[in-house]
Amino acid sequence: MDLTRELGEYGINIGTSVALEEGFSQLETFPKTFWVNIRTLLRNTYGAISDNVGISDIALIEAMDEEMEGLEAAIVALSKEQTSVVFYHTSHATIDKQFPKAQLKKLKTPGQLQYRVIERSVCKKLLSQNTNIRQFDVAVRGDRSTAMMLSHYPIDLLSHTYFDRLSLIESHTGAIKKKDKWNTKLTGGKQLTHMPFNSMTLQVYGDGATNFNTMPHRIKVTLNELAKEKRWHALTTKDKMLYDINTLTDKIAASFYKQLLAVSVR
């Protein structure tokens, strides 16, 4: 089987390599830790393989071992050993219980279902043979360090409270986004620059193609009107949002938004 995958400058899959080429390598100050969601690394690796039809788990695990080794070596070298790499996995086993009001996405297409089977099998085997990969449910329990995160799951950003400072680095572009730019990860984010990224906005507007569907139009419109009236911005605090939500004349809507805002990942 042809396991040829498109590699970038650092000898790892092109999507992840570009993140380093265009983003990490350009930093003047390096984070203490670089957190890598292995589900994201697997997605990038799988997508870079020229012929991935029928690829075996063993072959993918071998490729992932190479990717993890290469990525860690590149980060350590680029940062002159200032940054250590942390690989982690999120199972999302209780996501439905932690987000009871959310409209969670369900896999529908044959391609989505097939990839999910592959992902689960490969990750299970990786976790059993590599004890250095940290395992979480939903919350990514950081170590109170300045950190950068490589993940295509916006939900991971809700764990920013476990870090002293957290930024996101994106595959394929190398774009580095601090908290004031996380709203771009919401569905329709280009039109939501005035909206903070948090558990409520993530559930109301959705996250593109990962965990959350958008909620009905009226729920989005009511929140958007409130945000504009009260002059919210990307860094508006939850306390300010809660205060403003309490001014809504529709108390049923206010109660609903407050329940969404109160969600804290664990």
Same domain assignment for residues 114 and 49: yes
Are 89 and 154 contacting, i.e. CB atoms less than 8 angstroms apart?
no
Amino acid (one-letter) located at 106: K
Same domain assignment for residues 166 and 219: no
Residue span of the structural domain in which 195 resides: 185-261
- Note whether residue 266 is domain-resident: no
pLDDT in tens, the chain (266 residues): 457 899 999 999 999 999 999 999 999 999 999 999 999 999 999 999 988 888 999 999 999 999 999 999 999 999 999 999 999 999 999 999 999 999 999 999 999 999 999 999 999 999 999 999 999 999 999 999 999 999 999 999 999 999 999 999 999 999 999 999 999 999 999 999 999 999 999 999 999 989 999 999 999 999 999 999 999 999 999 999 999 999 999 999 999 999 999 999 99
Provide the pLDDT for residue 2. Answer: 52
Domain final residue pick, 142, 177, 212: 177
Domain count, the chain: 2
Are 43 and 189 contacting, i.e. CB atoms less than 8 angstroms apart?
no
Same domain assignment for residues 192 and 153: no
Same domain assignment for residues 140 and 105: yes
Q: Which residues contact 39 (CB under 8 A, 6 or more apart)?
A: 89, 90, 119, 123, 151, 153
DSSP E strands, the chain: 33-37, 84-90, 134-136, 146-150, 165-169, 176-177
Same domain assignment for residues 90 and 155: yes
Domain final residue pick, 160, 177, 194: 177
- Note whether residue 6 is domain-resident: no
**How far is 168 from 170, CA to CA, in rounded Å?**
6
Are 223 and 204 contacting, i.e. CB atoms less than 8 angstroms apart?
yes
Same domain assignment for residues 164 and 193: no
Domain final residue pick, 129, 150, 177: 177
Same domain assignment for residues 45 and 114: yes
